[in-house]
Amino acid sequence: MVEEAKLDSKLKPMPNDNLLFGERALSAGAAAFISAVIVNPLDVVKTRLQAQAAGVPYQGSCRLGCFEANNSTVVNDIRSNSSPGVCRITGSASVCTESHYKGTFDVFYKIIRQEGFSRLWRGTNASLALAVPTVGIYMPCYDYFRNIMEEFTAEKSPTLTPYVPLVSGTIARSLACISCYPVELARTRMQAFKGTRRDVKLPGVWKTLVDVINPVKGSNNGQNYRMLWSGLGAQLARDVPFSAICWSILEPTRRSILSLMGEKPTAGCIIGANFTAGFVAGAVAAAATCPLDVAKTRRQIEKNADRAMTMTTRQTLAEIWRDGGMRGMFSGAGARVGRAGPSVAIVVSFYEVVKYGLHNFHQQ
């Protein structure tokens, strides 16, 4: 009987059936807000490394104006009014050592020195505009699908119950991703391209999206609105496996930890169990899906409208492998893992402890 009770406690989630969808969404949105602000610098670093691998020209100390990816070319200095300088690019690698990022810490150093400390939070407004509604949809939908599926499999096919977190996370993430994709596109572009001067205000979310639709000033083609969804396939190809891997690790891990803490764990125990499980699950899932994240970034920063609409994830991955091999496939991996672990841990632990508090409030 004792063993059965322990097994049952590992299978059952924390009781929260009395919470409304709006309460769950509010809890998730608040968790996403905190996480987005804390980990945004790592997101910027990761995107810069991946954009560099894709051959994005940076207008800064290297003073690049235009470029031809995969071709050796000389580009003129368009930033300075003094005598033009030149910088040779071979493939996607620049010989300008001043703007070439060598790793995660080098990106931090050069962004702070060349652009200012505040640029580490470049795209935070887009991150918040993305994270709050996305997580607000994602987490409550995950709870909803998980509870329904676990109830069904427990009665009809208990052997399928361990796979419920994987399926629930996949469905919930797909819904959230499709709903909020244009803001994700704007955020990636805002983080990828480097500013020329510290005192110049860079485009915000709305201006970035307008530039996506109308890359040439004065053009107004209705077909261009499709550009807001360019790279969605790569986004889903990254987020769906990430979510599946993450929840497959997170759910059983946190339930195992909570089962060791008795039938009525405290708020501190809930935070600890969820933070630990979320950190491990987020880091593992981020490392496993890094090549898909590189492909997603490369597709989202593509400024050639025709190419952006015809690129596929498979073609992009093949291009990344051809240009950079295994190193190119995992460019920005350190920053991505360093961001995903704390991000998932913060979101899940905050979300669950707020649900716990609301559940106890309703019980009174």
Q: Write down how long the chain is.
A: 364
Among 194-198, 232-236, 243-247, 290-294, which stretch is predicted with the lowest mean pLDDT?
Answer: 194-198
pLDDT at residue number 257? 93
pLDDT at residue number 95? 43
pLDDT at residue number 16? 60
Mean pLDDT, residues 252-259: 92
**Residue with more model confidence, 356 or 280:** 280
Mean pLDDT, residues 35-40: 88
Q: Which residue has the tokens 């708020």?
A: 267
Whole-angstrom distance, CA of residue 244 vs CA of residue 247:
6
Residue 145 has pLDDT above 80, yes or no: yes
Do 291 and 237 touch, CB atoms closer than 8 A?
no
For 195-226, the pLDDT digits (tens) are 555 556 666 667 777 777 776 455 555 556 77
pLDDT at residue number 292? 92
pTM beyond 0.85, yes or no = no
List the Cα angle 257/258/264 in 5-degree steps: 160
pLDDT at residue number 49? 87
- For 65, 74, 100, 197, the CA distances from 85, given in Å and listed in that order, are 11, 10, 16, 17
Angle subtended by helix axes 232-259 and 290-300, to nearest 10: 150
Band (pLDDT 50/70/90 cuts) for residue 94 is very low
Whole-angstrom distance, CA of residue 135 vs CA of residue 183:
13
Do 44 and 120 touch, CB atoms closer than 8 A?
yes
For 303-318, the pLDDT digits (tens) are 777 777 777 888 889 9
Band (pLDDT 50/70/90 cuts) for residue 277 is very high
Among 42-56, 200-214, 254-268, which stretch is predicted with the lowest mean pLDDT?
Answer: 200-214
Residue 19 has pLDDT above 50, yes or no: yes
Among 16-20, 37-41, 268-272, 347-351, which stretch is predicted with the lowest mean pLDDT?
Answer: 16-20
**Residue with more model confidence, 215 or 112:** 112
Do 301 and 55 touch, CB atoms closer than 8 A?
no
> Under DSSP, is residue 129 helix (H, G, I), strand (E, B) or coil?
helix
**Residue with more model confidence, 266 or 282:** 282
**Residue with more model confidence, 205 or 109:** 109
**Residue with more model confidence, 122 or 70:** 122
Do 228 and 185 touch, CB atoms closer than 8 A?
yes
pLDDT at residue number 12? 53
Mean pLDDT, residues 45-70: 60
Is the sign of the CA dihedral 66, 68, 69, 75 positive or negative? negative
Mean pLDDT, residues 177-181: 87
Mean pLDDT, residues 126-155: 89
pLDDT, the chain, mean: 78
- Bridge partners (DSSP) listed for residue 94: 89
Among 46-55, 177-186, 198-207, 329-338, which stretch is predicted with the lowest mean pLDDT?
Answer: 198-207
**Residue with more model confidence, 85 or 331:** 331
Q: Which residue has the tokens 């931090």?
A: 108
pLDDT at residue number 61? 41
Do 274 and 347 touch, CB atoms closer than 8 A?
no
Count Cβ neighbours within 10 Å for each residue of 129-164 and write b for 16 or more, e otherwise.
bbbbbbbbbbbbbbbebbeebbeebeeeeeeeeeeb
pLDDT at residue number 195? 58
